[in-house]
Homo-oligomer: A and B are copies of this chain.
Amino acid sequence: MLTNLFDAFPDAAVRGVQETVEDLLSRPDVRIERIISTGQASPPGFWYSQPQGEWVMVVQGAAGLHIEHEEQERVLRAGDFINLPAQVRHRVNWTSSEEPTLWLAVHYDLPQQESK
């Protein structure tokens, strides 16, 4: 069990390997995740569209976030956060290839069937 956000950066965190996602808290009404990206992006044409809301912050690194119907992507750097209400389609255009990008994501308004 992690106790520090910067602990145990996975060995697999090298460019091109899959993102690493770990639960930091899992409750019926909220789930907090640490996500580590190492240059990944959403596949071409892929959009996230989630039944729950997501508040997400880039703690370290950088990412380009594209929200549907917005002309320009949003560039998120250390400390930048954004709230993505449920069903808001978005995709990650890029994440830094210079260093791991560490995200903190708080999922809320969880659908009942996903509750634990």
Residues of B within 8 A of A83 (CB): 25
The CA-CA distance from A27 to B85 in the complex, in Å, is 11
Partner of A5, one of B3, B53, B57: B57
Q: Which residues of A contact B (CB under 8 A)?
A: 3-7, 24-25, 27-30, 32, 53, 55, 57, 59, 78-83, 104, 106, 108-109
- Per DSSP, chain A at the interface is strand
Q: How often does this chain occur in the complex, in copies?
A: 2
Partner of A81, one of B3, B57, B78, B82: B3
- Across the interface, do B108 and A24 meet the contact criterion of CB distance under 8 Å? no
The CA-CA distance from A81 to B28 in the complex, in Å, is 20
- Across the interface, do A24 and B55 meet the contact criterion of CB distance under 8 Å? yes
